[in-house]
A and B are shown apart, each in its own frame.
Chain A
Amino acid sequence: MDLLPTVRTGAVAAARGLLLAVLSLSLNIVLFVLFLVSFLLIPVLGIGVPLFPVVVHLVRLRAEVERRIAGWSGVDIPSPYRPLPPGLWGRFAAVLRDPATWRDAAWLMPGAIVGGVLGLIAVCVPFYGVEGVLLVPVLITDFVDWYGYGVVWPIDGFFDRLLVLPQGVLILTIGVLGAPLLTMGVARFAALLLAPTAAEALHARVAHLAATRAETVDAQAAELRRIERDLHDGAQAQLVSLSMTIGLAEELLRRDPDAAQRLLAEAREAGGQALAELRRLVRGIHPPVLAERGLPGALSALGLALAIPVSVEVELPGRPEAPVESALYFAAAELLANVVKHSGAASASVLLRWEGDLLRLAVSDDGRGGADPSRGSGLAGIGRRLAAFDGTMVVSSPAGGPTVVTVELPCALSSQRTSPSSGTG
């Protein structure tokens, strides 16, 4: 066991215990009283109806803080609340009907006791240990004659004084090792009542799916409209003009062969333009190199096309589903385009790896950093598109760089064929 990290963990847990104790013993009790009073005031129409949702809001803030602190101990407690409708009556009714309201309330008093007691133990035992290690009791007995330490009360004589240090070490050790367990216990207890029930979790899941499905459908419809417009104004118009030119050349073939030849050259030119236009369009829909080579080849090709050297490393034991491939490809394309446009980087790297049902794509650069997903519409757009696959995107971009954007998609691979690939472009 490494000493330093253990001590640090213990110290952090002790501080967390203090925080928990203070919050639980002060806010929980006050909030519980407020909750009771405002609930009892509901029959008194003028006061209870607007007051109750306000108090519930405060209780929820407190519960959210508890969830956050539990998260620090590694206990993940998602938020269980249903969305609130607008309007006084609507809010009142929704708050009253949401089971999470009552579970929060049920947690307040037991939470105060558990958080207060365990939190105080978590912070006090290590402190008592420190007191012993620093020989503070010995100093105190210089002034008063009733003080003691550990099992020795009062400290009297040389032998009792000798016992202070080993006791301090023992108590400090117990405190440091025990504090994380105690805060973990508080977190576990909070999870019992503050975590969403199975029904609530399903409710949240359905809401999330409905939202992402609506976004996906919208995005798809917009994409189809764009393709239709591009075809209509581009290749289609060019083919019309092409066939007109050929028709004219046909007419002129006998009477004016020179003019006909000029027209045919023109037609060939127009055909070339239509092909170039279609090629551009196809690349935007589904890049041919992705169809032909999958992600390893397509990402390498992407890297080669950039103005800065990009190292591409792909470790995939098989091919993901086509929509997932496509989503990852376009995410990588957008991220690399951002690198070139905004970062001022001299080089970039793309890393794609499959880690047990999870595809992880990391695009990093050595540029100036400071990328903010809430400002750039590009990054937000990638996040939205990934949401349809339950994918997530994390941006780490401190000012001065480097920027690392990590995209994760849960995914199964279809064929388990080996296709490791790497290259530098």
Chain B
Amino acid sequence: MRVVIAEDLALLRDGLTRLLEAFSFEVVAAVDNGPALLPALLSHRPDVAIVDVRLPPSFTDEGLRAAIAARERIPGLPVVVLSQHVEQLYARELLSDRGGSVGYLLKDRVSHVGQFVDAVRQVAGGGTVMDPDVIAQLLESRSAAEPLGALTAREREVLAQIAEGRSNAAIAAKLFITEKAVSKHINNIFAKLGMPPSNDDNRRVLAVLTYLRA
């Protein structure tokens, strides 16, 4: 699987490269600034890009902007955005083109190597993976608002798991319930949120997040 990395700190850039190569990814380019990212993405057309939000020269959100610009040129280009902090604002912007294939994770998550590599593969495969902190912020900020208030505690847990990109089987294993129970909860959630049921993981996440964004 071919990867482009954008990270300005050499230590982290080399670490990411080493880590991904250990899991038999092929790092075709590793850039250290914002302006170099877009050309690299356009010329290499990687299977997935891993991008730091804050990049030189402006040290603001160059990486995020470049990723969004690249996805305008190459619709559905899989991008995993990494950051020292997560913001709902950025999550919205990444999800706004509804193309899927988006990951938004804290850099901390890289230390759970197995989970991180899974997340990258999931995004490359068209999935959407949001950091648990994003989900926590969303649920916290909206917990008082209707109609999310109508969800039971268990349904909220399931919703959070869906948003993190987990499959029904993974959710069942994580929450120690049967897969059948999971799909029942999911149907309840969609019914309560007034959305048609769907079996497609990616569409589920987008639907949920689009709803939360309202």
Contacts and interface: CB of A to CB of B under 8 A. Distances in A.
Interface in B84-106: 84-85, 87-89, 106
Contact of B108 (A272, A289, A308): A272
Nearest to B107: A275
Contact of B140 (A272, A283, A307): A307
Interface stretch (B36-44, B142-150, B161-169): B142-150
B89 A307 contact: no
B144 A307 contact: yes
Contacts of A304: 87-89, 137, 141
Q: SS class of chain B's interface: helix, strand, loop or mixed?
A: loop
Contacts of B61: 292-293
B141 A307 contact: yes
A276 B107 CA distance: 11
Q: Quick one: which of A283, A305, A308, A309 has the most chain B CB within 10 A? A: A305
Given A272-B111, A276-B108, A289 B142 contact: no
A288 B112 CA distance: 24
Interface in B149-178: none
Contact of A288 (B84, B88, B144, B145): B84
Nearest to B85: A288
Interface residues of B, number: 22
Contacts of B88: 301, 304-305
A279 B84 CA distance: 7
A185 to B, nearest CB: 56
B185 interface: no
Interface residues of A, number: 23
A170 interface: no
B60 A293 contact: yes
Q: SS class of chain A's interface: helix, strand, loop or mixed?
A: helix
Contacts of B53: 292
A283 B85 contact: yes
B85 A305 contact: no
B81 to A, nearest CB: 13
B89 A275 contact: no
B71 interface: no
A291 interface: yes
Given A297-B89, A301-B88, A301-B89, A268 B141 contact: no
B54 interface: yes
A174 interface: no
Contact of A289 (B85, B107, B137, B143): B85
B192 to A, nearest CB: 19
Interface string A382-417: 000000000000000000000000000000000000
Given A272-B111, A292-B53, A307 B145 contact: yes
Interface in A286-338: 288-289, 291-293, 297, 300-301, 304-309
A370 interface: no
Contacts of B89: 289, 293, 297, 300-301, 304
A288 B90 CA distance: 12
Contacts of A272: 108, 111
A282 interface: yes
Contact of B111 (A268, A289, A297, A306): A268
Interface string B54-79: 10000111000000000000000000
A292 B54 contact: yes
A110 interface: no
11 contacts: A272-B108, A279-B84, A289-B85, A289-B87, A289-B89, A293-B61, A297-B89, A300-B89, A307-B140, A307-B145, A309-B145
Given A292-B53, A304-B89, 14 more contacts: A268-B112, A272-B111, A288-B84, A289-B85, A289-B89, A291-B60, A293-B89, A301-B88, A304-B87, A305-B140, A307-B140, A307-B141, A307-B145, A309-B145
